[in-house]
Amino acid sequence: MSQLVKPHGKDQVLKPLLLEGEELADAKKKATTLKKIPITSRETGDAIMMGIGGFTPLDGFMDHDDWKGCVKDFQMADGTFWPIPVTLSATKADADSINFGEEIALVDDESGEIMGIMTVDEKYGIDKELECKEVFKTTDEDHPGVQKVMAQKEINLAGPIKVLSELDFPTAFEGIYQRPADARAIFEERGWNTVAALQLRNPMHNSHAYLAKVAIEVTDGVYVHQLLGALKPGDIPAHTRVKCIDALVQNYFRPERVVQGGYPLDMRYAGPREALLHALFRQNYGCSHLIVGRDHAGVGDYYGPFDAHRIFDEIPAGSLMTQALKMDWTFFCYACGEMASMKTCPHTEKAVLDEDGNYVSGDRLLLSGTMLRKMLSENKAVPAEFSKPEVVVLLREFYSSLEERVEVKLHGAATGDAAK
């Protein structure tokens, strides 16, 4: 009998809204006859998460009371804990043309795919600035999450949805894209009761591997859960990241302690609030813990390094079953002679390397993403203390294939990405 954490919400059962078989075929046919409303990439990601049960127990896009409760008090009108609004917006003209109780087809703006059918039972306006101030702690228009909220159309539409598509995630990321029920089945087959999720959107270097190993020491296994979605130019695509993790797991882990998976959601960059959302949907995936590092889901300097740790202690007890495994910044320290963190290592000097990536002096080995890209694309040696050779080989292969095609673009992206 599985002892995995139960799904979120009062009923404690997964609530996937995706239709299947004949029901799906009929709904697809019907959807072509309905009024079509375009939806953004964020709304599409949210719809897929509701479709696969990742956003259990939501049954559709939020109404005004749920939106307000969520923004102000982290909970929906019925008391269910929820840290970030999940809403859908339409132009005033579109909203005016829809009757209450009418079914509409939600169409992904980028692919043209019909994502779902929604029964509209409420239309409402929101105070966008209030949402930004509460959720993102800023109304600065340079913040990517604020930009998306401020760009929402005038009227929010609320009501239950039926989901008709997962886009091409199941085929494009075969073997890595998982629904919560899939992940739970894998964990149960392995006899796991406690699982730590490691959220990843960059390649896995030694610092992430160290986090994973610390988590395995205190749980039954780690779920390396990757973001599969839109990337910035120059980012490492998911398929390459998967190969790198495989190489690490095969050579440096007990493979029976690691499961890889991917999920379709866009980043909102809401820092602490998003850490809570990340924990919430990991609960649905069956994870008892989420590894929360420094500035989890942050961007720029909008959040303090440990805000995302602290917020787990500030929400009412019992809000979430999934707990934060709070970790500090990790790195290799030459003076310690091992992997360490800001919490354990007493040395403070940054390590200095020569042109070829060899150790010269100092303690802590800290390489920014930009420095690493430069070393990889210029064929300089990357210290084994930073990343295992099996991983470096794969990343080099990726950069050499990329450089032939978009060299200028890569360097433009690299210089603009110093923070991560």
Catalytic residue annotation: 201-202
- Find the shortest distance in angstroms from Cβ 330 to Zn ion: 11
Q: Shortest Cβ contact with Zn ion: which residue?
A: 333
- Find the shortest distance in angstroms from Cβ 296 to Zn ion: 23
Q: Tell which residue, 206, 288, 243, 227, has the closest CA to residue 396.
A: 243
Q: Which residues in the 80-119 window bind Zn ion by CB under 5 A?
A: none
In angstroms, the CA 154 to CA 230 distance is: 25
Question: Closer to Zn ion at the Cβ: 347 or 380?
Answer: 347
- Find the shortest distance in angstroms from Cβ 8 to Zn ion: 39
Question: Closer to Zn ion at the Cβ: 164 or 351?
Answer: 351
Whether the upstream peptide bond of residue 316 has omega within 30° of 0, thus cis, is: no
- Find the shortest distance in angstroms from Cβ 336 to Zn ion: 3
Residue 156's identity, in one-letter code, is N
- Find the shortest distance in angstroms from Cβ 337 to Zn ion: 8
Q: Is the dihedral of CA 407, 413, 415, 417 positive or negative?
A: negative
Question: Closer to Zn ion at the Cβ: 219 or 341?
Answer: 341
Angle between helix 272-284 and 307-314 (nearest 10): 60
Question: Closer to Zn ion at the Cβ: 311 or 345?
Answer: 345
Instruction: State the binding string over 250-269 for Zn ion (x if CB under 5 A, else -).
Output: --------------------
Residue 226, SS3 per DSSP: strand
Q: Render 155-222 in DSSP notation, one character per residue.
A: EEEEEEEEE--BTBHHHHTTTTB--HHHHHHHHHHTT-S-EEEEEESS---HHHHHHHHHHHHHSSEE
Instruction: State the binding string over 341-380 for Zn ion (x if CB under 5 A, else -).
Output: ----x-x---------------------------------
* Cβ proximity of 384 and 371 under 8 Å: no
Question: Closer to Zn ion at the Cβ: 47 or 333?
Answer: 333
Instruction: Name the CA radius of gyration of the chain, rounded.
Output: 22
Q: Residues binding Zn ion: what is the number (CB under 5 A)?
A: 5
Q: Which residues in the 318-347 window bind Zn ion by CB under 5 A?
A: 333, 335-336, 345, 347
* Cβ proximity of 213 and 277 under 8 Å: no
- What contacts 230, CB < 8 A, 6 or more positions away? 41, 266
Question: Closer to Zn ion at the Cβ: 136 or 331?
Answer: 331
In angstroms, the CA 13 to CA 310 distance is: 28
Q: Which long-range contacts (CB under 8 A, 24 or more apart) does 211-216 make?
A: 211/291, 211/293, 211/327, 211/330, 212/253, 212/258, 212/291, 213/253, 214/325, 214/327, 215/289, 215/291, 215/325, 216/253, 216/257, 216/258
- Find the shortest distance in angstroms from Cβ 364 to Zn ion: 7
- Find the shortest distance in angstroms from Cβ 331 to Zn ion: 9
Residue 87's identity, in one-letter code, is T
Question: Closer to Zn ion at the Cβ: 155 or 209?
Answer: 209
* Cβ proximity of 289 and 322 under 8 Å: yes
Residue 304, SS3 per DSSP: coil
Residue 22's identity, in one-letter code, is E
Question: Closer to Zn ion at the Cβ: 47 or 211?
Answer: 211
- Find the shortest distance in angstroms from Cβ 180 to Zn ion: 39
Ramachandran region, residue 254 (left: φ > 0; alpha: ψ -120 to 50; beta: rest): beta
Q: Contact residues for Zn ion (CB under 5 A)?
A: 333, 335-336, 345, 347
